[in-house]
Structure 1
């Protein structure tokens, strides 16, 4: 009996040491993540994601919104989603008029474009699948491969397009989407490269909720999201992520060490509210809890401390909505200043 208690006491000491070491390690890591980080990178290229669908959902004229971002804000680097359910409502019947127009206008302003294609592209409900393609898994997969090929073939001679993004955060289980199939993603990437080998393939992932290895090891380039202030029922409301730029720098080091990935960018920097519901239904006071002119500038400075060469903002449609619909142009004006400073 004495021997048993002696061994048990020894085991407790070992467990206490192990858990204590883990706790100390986590505290040190947390402290490192929240150090100020290096000086902001000053040669960062600022860009913008634009969604015609989201602008329309906000009650805006999306053509007018897009032109204002090009002309007034001065956006020179764009990420544009191609919505499959809008471009191929009927199987084999294509309507690229909206994307044709966006590309033509971007060329007038000497702006370059990342074209995003796939089942899952920016804005809710994330996966934008035409009704006819939901017949079964095989129809959907064959349909999107054909659509990717058709779209790339149509636009591969457009010099203003600098890269193809295949799917948007495919490894993140978010949105109204079919189950993720990593082998099919690899097929999509291979098919896109076979259709146009002259441009890099970009894959993206969540900045805070993943380790990046999956997409970073499969794409020519990798892009991360970057959010600071969010709303989540799981944490009981509003939350500011308790992480500094070194969190992203550490993950970048891991990716560079264990994959061949060398080109990392911020593909989606928070520049609009993350509200508890549909943003247009929220009060301006609640919206300002997660985004306002001060937070916008802070977020850009934060991203510059991470040190990636490209930073694409997320929320230009909301800026315009605030200016035109709410007579609150301060975020729009701050955005204009930021793009002027990084031209």
Structure 2
């Protein structure tokens, strides 16, 4: 074959390949957009006892009110390392036992998040004694911590999923570096070797690659935000239509039934403590109307399991004269 012939074949191949790829892409997008959610919407919340304390709330009172008044049936709880192992080798599960026992009494379905990088700022929650020793030491201690946690918590039937780390491959939080996929897989493998319940690994809905988290887990969890504050930009509205999450899932060959939205923005995004931020600033990322609109937005994503972010703040607002978020959420959880 001459060089000229080879060039001609290459050109012909490109001429055929590009249209075929384009048609395939358009077909895939069309199929994703036309797909209907399988099952009804299921709502839940994330509860962080640490965050409740940051809002100067009695966290146990806030939690019980969320369970008893909002009547949530799905909840994500967070096992913070620095809360459980304040001293090296001394494990205190009392706070988590309270949370899990109360959920169990009410037959609430629980996602239990554990590891180092976990929901709520500063994300990484290693104890001070571990932080002083550096990354290699922290990883070694994590691989000791995870089995201790699974051994203790697996008695709770209310736990339906284990979540290992929170957005470990997304560069957000006061953490030294992104976690490696190899290390997170070691954590996932430990959990799977000790208990049969499915494992979740999460990623950012807007900025994450998704596939690295999904490839080592049973389910992918994502966060969905609309209005945020970025250090390099300021206030920013994500431009993506709700249907874009369906398209992204289809392109990555991730079934929508294997995706949970565990962090739907339902409180303001602030670059400092919410308690120190003026109401006028908070309303730039969350108003009453925003709250209603983002719930409607979530319904259009095709993801049927959605956990709202900010229940502690709704309770705080209710205690301080604005019950809108609390009462609106109550109607949502009670199908009113």
Q: TM-score range by the shorter chain?
A: 0.7 to 0.9
Evaluate the alpha carbon distance shift between residue 96 and residue 282 of structure 1 in structure 2; reply closer, same or farther with a 3 A threshold. same
Aligned residue among 229, 232, 242 for 2:230: 232
The Cα shift of 1:38 comes to: 7.6
- Aligned residue in 1 for 2:165: 167
User: 5+ residue gaps in structure 1?
Assistant: 1-24
Equivalent positions of 1:206-221 (< 5 A) are: 206-221=204-219
1:49–1:313 contact (8 Å) kept in structure 2: yes
Aligned to 1:300: 295
> Residue 156 of structure 1 aligns with which residue?
154
Q: Report what 1:328 is aligned to.
A: 322
Residues 1-343 of structure 1: matches in 2 within 5 Å? 43-134=40-131, 135-179=133-177, 180-196=179-195, 198-235=196-233, 237-256=234-253, 263-324=258-319, 326-341=320-335
Instruction: Give the distance between the partners of 1:291 and 1:310, measured in 2 at CA.
Output: 22
> For 1:299, what is the secondary structure of its paired residue?
helix
How far the C-alpha of 1:312 sits from its partner, in A, is 0.6
Q: Secondary structure at the match of 2:220?
A: strand
Is residue 220–residue 261 contact of structure 1 (8 Å, CA) maintained in 2?
A: no
| Structure 1 residue 123: Cα displacement | 0.7
1:169-224 deviations in Å (ceiling 9; x for gaps): 0001111223322211111111111121x101100000111221110111110011
Give the secondary structure class of the aligned counterpart of 1:306: coil
Residue 146 of structure 1 deviates from its aligned partner by: 1.3
Structure 1 residue 254 displacement after superposition: 2.0
Distance 1:204 1:282 in 2: 29
Q: Using the TM superposition, give the Cα deviation of residue 42 of structure 1 relative to its aligned residue in structure 2, in angstroms.
A: 7.3
Contact 2:291 2:325 in 1 (8 A): yes
CA shift for structure 1 position 242: 1.0
- Structure-2 change in CA distance of 1:261 and 1:307 (3 Å): closer
Q: 2:104·2:156 contact (CA, 8 Å) conserved in 1?
A: no
Alpha carbons 2:124, 2:175 under 8 Å: kept: yes
Secondary structure of the corresponding residue to residue 341 of structure 1: coil
Equivalent in the alignment of 1:21:
none
After superposition, the Cα gap between the structure-2 partners of 1:82 and 1:216, relative to the gap in structure 1 and judged at 3 Å, is same
Name structure 2 gaps, 5 residues minimum: 1-21
Residue 104 of structure 1: SS of its match in structure 2? helix
SS at 1:204's partner residue?
Answer: strand
Q: Deviations over 1:272-310 (max 9, x none)?
A: 001243211122232122113321221111111111120
> What is the TM-score when the length of structure 2 is the normalising length?
0.86
Q: Distance between the aligned counterparts of 1:187 and 1:41, measured in 2?
A: 32
CA distance 1:254–1:81, change in 2 (3 Å)? same
Q: Distance in 2 between matches of 1:42 and 1:240?
A: 30
**Contact map agreement 2:44 2:75 (CA 8 A) in 1:** yes
User: C-alpha separation between the residues in 2 aligned to 1:284 and 1:341?
Assistant: 30
TM-score by length of 1: 0.84
Classify 1:141/1:311 alpha carbon distance in 2 versus 1 (closer, same or farther; 3 Å): same
Aligned residues: 309
What is residue 8 of structure 2 aligned with on the other side? none
